Amino acid sequence: MSYEVTEQDERIGREETQKKISAIVPRELLPNGSYAPVPGIFDIAWKGLLDLPAYDFVRSMRELDNSIIKENEEWALRLAPMCIRGELTIEQIKQHELFTFKFTDAFPISIARNVFENVRNREVRDLILRHANEEMGHSELQVDFLERGLGITRQEVYDSAPLVSATAPNAGSSDHKAGFFGADTEEMIALRKESPELAYALVPFQERVVPKQMRLMGRALREKYGFKDEHALGFFDLHSYIDIYHERFGVYIMAKYGTNKRSQELFRAALEDRRRVLVNSHRSAYYAVKGK
């Protein structure tokens, strides 16, 4: 099974999502006229990887990641499969979105921290800053869903306590913190020391699963749960599209700078570890909301 987005999906998704988001969000959240550090990286069906020296490394990591996601699809897709089947109540969805909001809200900062280790590489530095900038505002769209769709005030969202603590049953202890609050595991520490470029690249590379997650979630909310307010669903529509381009930031760096065998091995170990962490975190959240 492939988790790559086809050219047709990108073309149609981009056109439809731009119309939806521009109608409901009073600020620009889509790829626009801002500086793009890599020429053409926002083009439809971009082919900029093919001639880079470590393109085969990118292909092998995509294949590995596809296999990990397929094996853990129920959890890797952020509980979207359960919602497609209508297994969660509205209250349980609310609790899960409150949980993931904490991660969404902190994500731009988690990305930006990579700048300090990549200051001397202007290209990677600028990709990091562009990525962090594009993630700003996404948590406010998630709050729109919680407020307009689920009836929670914005302040209640901001003040909410984490659904799962690092020591809760099924939380995976330190796995939970590493997955959702940016703490480095041993694998990431080793990769960051060997190749700060690839340590950053792993972050947007992991976002490659998000378009499928969010397409499924948007469909479930509309078809299974009867949501009609398009403004409330902007968070899911946006992420069915924009992370196509964030993954490109990661694979571009991998294909250009991932030429060292040791760095490739460390990246592979960190990827396997981060996917495990995220699977455990989503599993923990599932059991927590089902227990409520």
The CATH number of whichever domain residue 105 belongs to comes to 1.20.910.10
Could you give the CA distance from residue 237 to residue 258 in angstroms, rounded to a whole number?
32
Residues 71, 261, 113, 178, CA torsion sign? positive
Q: How do residues 166-175 score in pLDDT, each as one tens digit?
A: 434 444 333 4
Q: Is the pLDDT of residue 30 over 60?
A: no
**Are the C-beta atoms of residues 206 and 120 closer than 8 Å to each other?**
no
**pLDDT grade for 127, boundaries at 50, 70 and 90:** very high
Rg for the chain, CA atoms, rounded? 18
Assigned domain for 220 exists: yes
Q: How do residues 229-248 score in pLDDT, each as one tens digit?
A: 999 999 999 998 889 999 99
**pLDDT grade for 199, boundaries at 50, 70 and 90:** very high
**pLDDT grade for 292, boundaries at 50, 70 and 90:** low
Q: Is the pLDDT of residue 12 over 80?
A: no
Q: Which domain holds residue 123?
A: 51-290
Assigned domain for 19 exists: no
Helix (H, G, I), strand (E, B) or coil at 59: helix
pLDDT the model gives residue 168: 42
Number of folded domains that form the chain: 1
Could you give the CA distance from residue 286 to residue 163 in angstroms, rounded to a whole number?
10
Q: How do residues 150-187 score in pLDDT, each as one tens digit?
A: 999 999 999 988 665 543 444 433 344 444 445 678 99
Helix (H, G, I), strand (E, B) or coil at 185: coil
Q: How confident is the model over 8-37, as a mean pLDDT? A: 68
Assigned domain for 10 exists: no
pLDDT the model gives residue 176: 40
Q: How do residues 103-126 score in pLDDT, each as one tens digit?
A: 999 999 999 999 999 999 999 999
Assigned domain for 121 exists: yes
Assigned domain for 2 exists: no
Q: Is the pLDDT of residue 25 over 70?
A: no
**pLDDT grade for 19, boundaries at 50, 70 and 90:** confident
Could you give the CA distance from residue 289 to residue 161 in angstroms, rounded to a whole number?
14
234 vs 9, which has greater pLDDT? 234
224 vs 27, which has greater pLDDT? 224
Assigned domain for 46 exists: no
Assigned domain for 84 exists: yes
pLDDT the model gives residue 265: 98
Assigned domain for 18 exists: no
CA atoms within 13 A on the CB side of 120: 3
Q: How do residues 46-94 score in pLDDT, each as one tens digit?
A: 999 999 999 999 999 999 999 999 999 989 998 899 999 999 999 999 9
